[in-house]
Amino acid sequence: MTDTDPDPLLFGRRSDAGSGWTIGHCGQKLTLDNLPPSKPRRWLPRLKADVVAAVNGGLLTVDEACDRYELSVQELACWTTAVATGGLKDLQIKRISSNRRNSR
């Protein structure tokens, strides 16, 4: 694990249930107000990791995240698996995903 990878012991966890925040990809406090924009110019690994942290920490449900970011459930699941298995390096785009919703 590198300095930029999420700490698996902290990532997406809240210290107090219902507190309205969780821990983001670099250990920062992540709230609904500082989530990534709904239509980022480019999906950087750190933005993907923060969306996963928001879902894992209960800030967003899977459906809310998919609607807000125009993702398929499969794409979000791939991001979640990538964070869990390889950290931020596994979130880098290797090819264009065919799982994206076409309703843009």
* Number of domains forming the structure of the chain: 1
| Residue position matching structure tokens 């300095």 | 3
**H helices within the chain, ranges in order?**
45-56, 62-69, 73-86
Q: CATH number of the domain at 76, please.
A: 1.10.10.10
Contact 51, 78 (CB under 8 A): no
pLDDT per residue of the chain (104 residues) written in tens, 0 to 9:
454 555 544 455 554 555 788 888 888 899 999 999 999 999 999 999 999 999 998 999 999 999 999 999 999 999 999 998 888 888 886 665 555 555 44
- Give the pLDDT score at 42: 92
> What residue numbers bound the domain in which 45 lies?
1-104
Identity of residue 103? S
- Give the pLDDT score at 9: 45
Measure the CA–CA gap between 7 and 83, rounded to whole angstroms: 10
Contact 51, 43 (CB under 8 A): no
